[in-house]
């Protein structure tokens, strides 16, 4: 089978959640013996050169990077206030991307064109004109829900009003776009249920997958456990959550665990964190090896207040056998069992108590981490998830003698 992936970022190198989710699909399909072609947006914010990508990966995927200017332009952003169009989506519409897509579709015949994220759906019409392929939306999030949640947490009324406008226009676009594709592969059950509620498009949930053997669990905790967070800080929900934890929870945590230190790793640390002078917060920034960082720490704290989809860094921490403390928003999309393979803490008192318990009883963190690892092996193995995706392609394909295997 031939699959064309249209990506809003390059899947490789997989340095953020979105590219990691896309790359897991790519590797799964290639391993299953299918042909994959990648056409990806390349922006200044997430810029990749072909030299950054191994030759073997380039040959297997025929990956092409199309430069698209995604910068937020104040004048255009202001004019959008008087428009019903989604400014989030409009920035991804590119003549150069469209032209290259047409060429690719005319040069070869594809069984499936998979749109990685909602932001690739403006190209559905072009695909329909130049291909008979199935069009599948790989929905990484319910995108407008992220912005609705961010708006609720925004205090300055003018900024809140503008974000509400962005969320409203994005919602209108999203609810229309999901009816234009042949199938939706949502990343969580909750997101899939949302899409089924608002459209008749056949929908399945296929979460982010890993290869468990690539994650070596470390169940040893020497001395007091080390608490950590790792994630790209240019994703608004991550910065928002860390800000909430530091401003609202840290004092309560220190009162119960005076030796607590929060180790923060990730790309694009904001200036306010870089300049933070607090002995209980160790701002590390981008690390050369994320797995090594996680292996050298013990308990993940993921204090998310907004967002949608699945938290890839939580899945990877669980694959490493780490206990995770998160909010209900953070745990959305994960088939967890509370207090068995994950800890849910919704406010500062619960955060402080969860940290105190692990700080005083590291053996409990080890138990949680082992159960988390078992969950990953049973549910989030990428081979199993790729099989489900291929079955989904067969489910939605038009009646024919062709079977996608």
Q: Quick one: tokens of 197?
A: 């509620």
Determine the 3-state secondary structure of 48 from DSSP: coil
pLDDT at 307: 67
For residue 309, what pLDDT is reported? 63
Predicted pLDDT at 364: 97
What sign does the dihedral 335-340-341-345 (CA atoms) show?
Answer: positive
pLDDT value at position 271? 95
Q: Please state whether the peptide bond connecting residue 13 to the residue before it is cis, i.e. omega within 30 degrees of 0.
A: yes
In this structure, what token pair is assigned to residue 328? Answer: 């209900």
Q: Do domains 2-209+381-396 and 213-379 have the same CATH topology?
A: yes
Spatial distance between the Cα atoms of 139 and 112, rounded to a whole number of angstroms: 15
Q: What is the pLDDT of residue 198?
A: 95
- Domain topology for 213-379: Rossmann fold (3.40.50)
Q: Report which secondary-structure segment, H or E, holds 36.
A: strand 35-42
Backbone φ and ψ for 135, nearest 5 degrees, come out as: -115, 115
Cα–Cα dist 225/296, whole Å: 10
Residue 196 to residue 190: CA distance in whole angstroms: 10
CA–CA separation, 356 vs 12, rounded Å?
A: 39
Question: Global pTM?
Answer: 0.82
CATH class of the structural domain 2-209+381-396: alpha beta
Domain ranges for the chain, please list them.
Answer: 2-209+381-396, 213-379
pLDDT by residue, tens only, the chain of 405 residues: 999 999 999 999 988 889 999 999 999 999 999 999 999 999 998 999 999 999 999 999 999 999 999 988 888 887 888 888 998 999 999 999 999 999 999 999 999 999 999 999 999 999 999 999 999 999 999 999 888 888 888 888 888 998 999 999 999 999 999 999 999 999 988 899 999 999 999 999 999 999 999 999 989 899 999 999 999 898 888 999 999 999 999 999 999 999 999 999 999 999 999 999 999 999 999 999 999 999 999 999 999 987 666 788 899 999 999 999 999 999 988 999 999 999 999 999 999 999 999 999 999 999 999 999 999 999 999 999 999 999 999 999 875 434 554
Q: DSSP string spanning 132-171? A: --EEEEEESS-HHHHHHHHHHT--SHHHHHHHHHHHHHHH
């Amino acid at each position: 089978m031939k699959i064309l992936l249209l990506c809003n970022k390059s899947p490789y190198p997989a340095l953020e959640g979105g590219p990691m989710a896309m790359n897991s699909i790519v590797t799964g399909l290639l391993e299953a013996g299918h042909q994959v072609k990648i056409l990806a947006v390349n922006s200044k914010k997430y810029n990749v050169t072909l030299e950054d990508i191994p030759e073997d990966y380039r040959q297997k995927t025929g990956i092409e990077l199309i430069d698209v200017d995604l910068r937020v332009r104040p004048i255009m952003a202001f004019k959008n206030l008087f428009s019903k169009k989604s400014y989030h989506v409009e920035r991804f519409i590119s003549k150069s991307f469209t032209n290259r897509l047409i060429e690719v579709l005319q040069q070869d015949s594809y069984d499936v064109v998979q749109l990685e994220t909602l932001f690739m759906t403006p190209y559905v019409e072009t695909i329909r004109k130049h291909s008979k392929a199935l069009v599948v939306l790989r929905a990484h999030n319910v995108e407008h829900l992220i912005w609705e949640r961010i708006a609720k947490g925004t205090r300055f009324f003018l900024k809140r009003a503008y974000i509400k406008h962005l969320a409203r226009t994005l919602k209108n676009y999203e609810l229309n776009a999901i009816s234009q594709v042949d199938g939706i592969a949502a990343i969580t059950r909750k997101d899939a249920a949302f899409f089924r509620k608002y459209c008749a498009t056949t929908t399945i949930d296929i979460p982010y997958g890993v290869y468990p053997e690539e994650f070596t669990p470390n169940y040893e905790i020497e001395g007091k456990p080390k608490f950590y967070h790792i994630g790209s800080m240019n994703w608004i929900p991550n910065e928002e959550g860390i800000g909430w934890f530091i401003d609202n929870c840290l004092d309560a945590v220190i009162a119960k665990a005076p030796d607590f230190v929060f180790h923060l790793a990730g790309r694009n640390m904001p200036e306010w964190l870089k300049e933070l002078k607090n002995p209980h917060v160790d701002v590390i920034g981008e690390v050369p090896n994320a797995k090594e960082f996680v292996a050298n720490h013990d308990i993940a704290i993921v204090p998310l207040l907004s967002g949608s989809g699945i938290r890839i860094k939580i899945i990877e921490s669980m694959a490493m056998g780490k206990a995770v403390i998160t909010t209900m928003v953070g745990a959305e999309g994960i088939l967890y069992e509370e207090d068995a393979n994950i800890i849910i803490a919704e406010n500062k008192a619960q955060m402080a108590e969860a940290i105190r318990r692990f700080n005083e009883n590291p053996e409990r963190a080890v138990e949680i981490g082992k159960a988390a690892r078992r969950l990953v092996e049973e549910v989030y193995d990428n081979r199993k998830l790729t099989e489900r995706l291929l079955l989904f392609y067969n489910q939605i394909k038009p009646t024919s003698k062709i079977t996608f295997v």
